[in-house]
Amino acid sequence: MDKIRPYSKVLRTLKSAGLRPTKQRLVLSRLLFDGKNRHVTAEGLHSEAILSGQKISLATVYNVLNAFTSADLLKEIIVDSGCSYFDTNITEHHHIFNEDNNELTDIKIKNVELKGLPILTSCEKLQRIDVIIRVKNKSK
Amino acid sequence: MDKIRPYSKVLRTLKSAGLRPTKQRLVLSRLLFDGKNRHVTAEGLHSEAILSGQKISLATVYNVLNAFTSADLLKEIIVDSGCSYFDTNITEHHHIFNEDNNELTDIKIKNVELKGLPILTSCEKLQRIDVIIRVKNKSK
DNA sequence: GTGTTTGCAAAGTGTTTGCAATTTA
DNA sequence: TAAATTGCAAACACTTTGCAAACAC
């Protein structure tokens, strides 16, 4: 099993985001911010928490994911109408999405070059650019 | 008002896609394939049909949009978890999505250059690449 | 006639909300 | 103790489905 990030570090993260360190937020933080980049759904993270023996409701997982996203601890990735993904990698980057197993993989942005994008109108403010490479598994 | 595409042309389109030209499919086809590129939601297209005096249920609009997408008459665009958009422009191209008014605009692909994308693994088969430029309205 | 499509209502999914109980500061 | 958060259930929004009636071929 991977090493678990100590509460102290997670505590500091929450504190600096202005979020009260409740038991549930700490549990989810430790699952999410374990050192490697993760892509989770509410459902998936909830199962994970339950499986690890914690008690937390699905509604709270949604609340926490939304709170973390508002606090810029997570980034929401839209690849699937009907299911939200949350990414612990909040730096600018792109994704490969496998439509067969619903798996998201990061693409480092420094490798990607985008040219020829249109000039926005004077009333449009750029939020972000998403590049999604959709793949399926090759049938053997 | 724009000119309405004659039934004959729409009929041929449906026929060649192997779809029976039912009254409802013809109604939606004439709204969709009116010569210019359109981005619609099921809800939006349904309202449009109703407002134009036609009788059609929302379930049928969903059925028809899915049938048209399977027949490659439409392309589904995923920009919003919780709502599907359908695009009458089935050529390869990208989008600007205005998150304030949920408006989609096409970007011609020939202007866009994407470099440095990762090499897919041997079991991955490319489906498509989506580039979405997310914008909001500038607050005055 | 046979198979397809429609339309309604019901069911299904993923997500949010109202509110009392609990917890944090 | 005042304000924020939780958890449940109910509400929600979007979409699909089951099935009888209507329709296309």
Least confident of A82-86, A128-132, B15-19: B15-19
Q: Is residue B19 scored above 60 in pLDDT?
A: yes
What integer pLDDT is reported at residue B3 of this predicted model? 47
Fold of B8-86: Arc Repressor Mutant, subunit A (1.10.10)
| Average pLDDT taken over every residue of chain A | 91
Distance B110 CA to C12 C1' (A): 41
User: Does the CB of A25 fall within 7 Å of any strand D atom?
Assistant: yes
Nearest to B114 by CA among A107, A70, A102, A9: A107
Residue A59: predicted pLDDT: 97
CA of B62 to C1' of C7 (A): 12
Q: What is the pLDDT of residue B109?
A: 84
Task: Give the distance, in angstroms, between residue B58 CA and nucleotide D22 C1'.
Answer: 17
pLDDT above 60: residue B60:
yes
In eight-state DSSP terms, residue B102 is T
Start-end of CATH 1.10.10.10 domains in chain B: 8-86
Q: Supply the mean pLDDT for chain B.
A: 91
Pick from B113, B127, B133: which is nearest to A129 by CB? B133
Q: How far is the CA of A93 from the C1' of C8 (A)?
A: 46
Q: What is the mean pLDDT of residues A93-114?
A: 92
Contact B131 A114 (CB under 8 A): yes
Chain position carrying tokens 């942005």: A109
Locate the chain A residue with the closest alpha carbon to B139. A123
* Cβ neighbours of A76 in B, within 8 Å: 81
Pick the closest to residue A130 from A99, A104, A98, A95 (CA basis): A95
Distance CA B25, CA B68 (A): 9
Q: Is A35 left (phi over 0), alpha (psi -120 to 50) or beta?
A: left
3-class secondary-structure state, position A94: strand
- Percentage above 90 pLDDT, chain A: 75
Shortest alpha-carbon distance between residue A6 and chain B (Å): 34
List pLDDT tens digits, range A31-66. 999 889 999 999 999 999 999 999 999 999 999 999
Q: What is the pLDDT of residue B127?
A: 95
How confident is the model over B75-90, as pLDDT tens digits? 999 999 999 999 999 9
What pLDDT does B83 receive? 94
A87-B106-B132 Cα angle (round to 5): 10
**Predicted local confidence at residue B7, as pLDDT:** 58
| Minimum-distance nucleotide, CA of B19 to C1' | C4
Across the interface, whether the CB atoms of B114 and A114 are under 8 A apart is answered yes
A83, A97 in Cβ contact below 8 A? no
Q: Which residues contact A112 (CB under 8 A, 6 or more apart)?
A: A94, A131, B114, B115, B116, B117
Q: CA-CA distance, B106 to B87, in Å (whole number)? A: 9
Q: Mean pLDDT check: name the lowest of A90-94, A108-112, B118-122.
A: A108-112
C-alpha–C-alpha distance, residues A125 and A131, integer Å? 18
Helices (H), A17-134: 23-32, 42-51, 58-70
What does the pLDDT read at residue A1? Answer: 40
DSSP assignment string, B30-65: HHH-SSS--EE-HHHHHHHHHHTT----HHHHHHHH
Whether the predicted pLDDT of A5 surpasses 70: no
When CB atoms are compared, the residue of A82, A123, A138 closest to B138 is A123
Report residue A86's pLDDT band, with 50, 70 and 90 as the boundaries.
Answer: very high
Range scoring the smallest mean pLDDT among A74-88, A103-117, B39-53:
A103-117
B2: pLDDT strictly greater than 60: no
Q: Which of residues 33-52 of A touch strand C (CB under 7 A)?
A: 41-43
Whether B47 has a pLDDT exceeding 60, the answer reads: yes
Mean pLDDT of B55-76: 96
Answer yes or no: is B69 CB < 7 A from strand C.
no
How far is Cα A88 from Cα A107, in angstroms, rounded to an integer? Answer: 14
Contact A65, A85 (CB under 8 A): no
